[in-house]
Amino acid sequence: MPADTLCWADIEAAQARLAGRIHRTPVLSSAALDAASGARLFFKCENFQKTGAFKARGAGNAVFALADAVARRGVATHSSGNHGAALARAAQLRRIPAHVVMPEGTARVKAEAVARYGATITWCAPTLAAREATVREVLTATGATLVHPYNDYAVMAGQGTAAVELLQQVPDLDAVICPVGGGGLISGTAVAARHLRPGIGLFGAEPAGADDAARSLHSGVLQRCEKPQTIADGLRGALGDRTYPVIREQVADILTVSEESIIAAMRTLWQVLKIVAEPSGAVPLAALLMPPAALRGKRIGVIVSGGNVDLDSLPF
């Protein structure tokens, strides 16, 4: 992967690397949700992906891009769940060790998935600083290679393959919207979508309680959010120095939504579209149920990022 940018060639290479290792997920639509949003919505269902989230793409690409001598030492990351499970699965496929640092309070279903794929879990305090410090300790102790959850060009390239599939399935989209945490998905989406459809609009959606990406885009300066407060646990990461430049240059806007609207959108996806979406995956629909004027009447691809929820702790 290049040292200073993400380009279309990286996403093409990721597609080849991931062939046969992930699902080509379906695209669903709903007349009821079109009417509620005032737009035509096409839902790219990454909740049906391997490990239940789009993260299988980025982690898989990163693991299989490693040289054999490097891969043998294993891989490590920090994760609230989905990236950790995806990395553990990819490592299992390649038969190498995986180490995942997880914050205390992680959803049980996500921790169980990481363990099920054979990774070694190290627990830490539920802050970004604690996650980063703990994974540095793990890297020193094991000699493993860090596969960052989002601030990694190989991860970003893998995430971009979801947008490639979406535009193959629905070529005439006016815009794509996806959730934003650390920015890996929206960065890969932006590079892929702009290559395949240069005039397309790129939008992100983010919880108001973890709005560093919106503040960064609107201010032009990278912002931090050390203690994000949101039910959307997959979106508590902060933008990185690799993801932010892509967002700054290619994303039209990042919309923020309330916790109440996230829960309502999650329930709507379950009831209307008949799919299981976790809070992070419902954030784009939350934004589109009160869309800005720029998106009304448009044909919009909506990336439902994942469906890993603890059924014993539903918010409704």
Supply the pLDDT for residue 310.
85
Q: Tell me the C-alpha distance between 168 and 190, whole Å.
A: 15
Span(s) in the chain for CATH 3.40.50.1100: 8-53+153-304, 56-146
Beta bridge partners of 205: 179, 255
pLDDT tens-digit readout, 132-147: 999 999 999 999 999 9
Supply the pLDDT for residue 53.
97
Supply the pLDDT for residue 4.
79
Residues 35-46, buried b or exposed e (16+ Cβ, 10 A)? ebbbbbbbbbbb
Supply the pLDDT for residue 1.
43
* Maximum Cα–Cα distance across the chain: 55
User: What is the CATH topology of the domain spanning 56-146?
Assistant: Rossmann fold (3.40.50)
Beta bridge partners of 42: 301
Sheet holding 75-78, edge to edge: 120-124, 98-103, 75-78, 145-146
Q: Tell me the C-alpha distance between 269 and 304, whole Å.
A: 10
CA torsion, ordered 284, 290, 293, 294, to nearest 10 deg: 0
User: What is the CATH topology of the domain spanning 8-53+153-304?
Assistant: Rossmann fold (3.40.50)
Supply the pLDDT for residue 8.
98
Query: Of 233, 282, 244, whose CA–CA distance to 151 is shortest?
Result: 244
Tokens 């994303």 -> residue = 251
Which is it for strands 299-304 and 253-257: parallel, antiparallel or unpaired? unpaired
Supply the pLDDT for residue 109.
86
Q: Tell me the C-alpha distance between 97 and 76, whole Å.
A: 8
Positions in the chain short of pLDDT 70: 1-3
CB-CB contact of 119 with 98 (8 Å): yes
Tokens 């993400």 -> residue = 6
Tokens 């916790």 -> residue = 259
